[in-house]
Amino acid sequence: MDSRLKAWLQLIETKDLGPVKAHQLISSLGEPESFIGKGIEPLLDYQRISNEIKESLAVDTEPENWENICELSEKYQIKYTTILDDDYPTMLKNIFNPPLVLYYRGTLPKDNGATLIGIVGTRKPDNYGIMMTQKITGELSRSGYGIVSGLAFGVDTHAHRTTIENNGITYAVMGTGCDQIYPESNRKLAERILERGALISEFTPGSKLERWNFPARNRVISGLSNGIFVVQGKISSGALLTAKYALEHNRDLFALPGDINRPQSEGPNHLIKKGAKLVSSYVDIVEEYDLIMTTQVDRTASLSDKEKGVLNCIQESKPAISYDELILKTGYNVGDLSTVLLALELQNLIRIGDGTMISSVD
């Protein structure tokens, strides 16, 4: 039995104490193990809590589901760090009301490690949202950035999976205990995340899925990240709540512009109107962190063979080539060529000018 964690949990569960007073208490008295369950004497001079709270803390009591927490921690190799520990992420420690205890499987982000970008969005992205999540996440990963997301369906899943496919580091912040994977279909993805990143939660092992856990989860995503990139989502979505936390935490805020007629683009377009940085390329994010000159990433490395072939045709026909001529050179039909050109334009590799003249971006 871990007596230190037991003391922290008793502190957190103390009736009427609350997180703000708990933070103040440990700031004054230090480790909970040094004063919880030690009688009233260590608490006598502390005036910011009531006598009832002092009496609760003076007695050694077992936290709720304590035996189950210990069993699950051992079974799933769940570790923890506290707000007083050196390995607690500094970015998260410095937000308002950070978790007192952070549980994790894998390896926590290091303060001298990769710049972290939180990528969030709807659980039901359209093809454009999926494509841009994969494109920008892949380029960020190859540029050395770590990716933080929430392991949910949709944008989260694509962000984590793309990072892993590009040998990057990714962190999943859970709305449950670290022993549980939600959605269940992401279990294999979660195991891959553990190879180079971590599953992270402020909820004790065994904690079930609760709707009210997700706002807390979103603040941790923001707290861990240097910047938040919102891909798609309605104004009322969790992604926009994460953006709100990003502003409160003084984080950089990025958003993907989208079709004004699509509900998925409502949130990001709103954020852009309010001052979030419009992202049309990973460069729009990277340049905020002064790494663009040192990464030297090959921007064409992730292109499909079809996209590379079309791009080569355009570059060989400088200064520009007409749409009709490109159809003749490539042999593609209008639909296929339009799809490829859209992908290249979104990556800022080509420019479609007046009429149907297409040129490469040097």
Taking domain 116-295, whether its CATH number is 3.40.50.450 is answered by yes
Q: How far is CA 94 from CA 37, 89, 245, 305, 321, in A?
A: 29, 9, 13, 46, 53
Q: What tokens were used for 289?
A: 């962190």
Q: What is the pLDDT of residue 296?
A: 42
Q: Is 302 exposed, middle or buried (0-12, 13-18, 19+ CB in 10 A)?
A: middle
What is the separation of C-alpha 291 from the centre of its chain, rounded to a whole number of angstroms? 20
CATH 1.10.10.10 fits 305-360, yes or no: yes
The answer to whether the bond into 319 is cis (omega within 30° of 0) is yes
Give the pLDDT of the chain (362 residues) as one tens digit per residue: 699 999 999 999 999 999 999 999 999 999 999 999 999 999 988 989 999 999 999 999 999 999 999 999 999 999 999 999 999 999 999 999 999 999 999 999 998 788 999 999 999 999 999 999 999 999 999 989 999 999 999 999 999 999 999 999 999 999 999 999 999 999 999 999 999 999 999 999 999 988 889 999 999 999 999 999 999 999 999 999 999 999 999 999 999 999 999 999 999 999 999 999 999 999 999 988 854 434 444 666 678 888 888 888 888 877 778 888 888 888 888 888 888 888 888 777 887 765 567 777 65
Q: Which two tokens stand for residue 130?
A: 């999926």
Residue 270: the pLDDT is 97
Domain ranges of the chain: 1-64, 116-295, 305-360
Is 348 within 8 Å of 280 (Cβ atoms)?
yes
What is the rounded CA–CA span in Å between residue 266 and residue 76?
40
> pLDDT at position 351, please?
76
Which residue, chain included where needed, has tokens 């159809």?
327
Which bin fits 262, alpha (ψ -120 to 50), beta or left (φ > 0)? beta
Distance CA 45, CA 149 (A): 43
Non-local (6+) Cβ contacts of 293 within 8 A are none
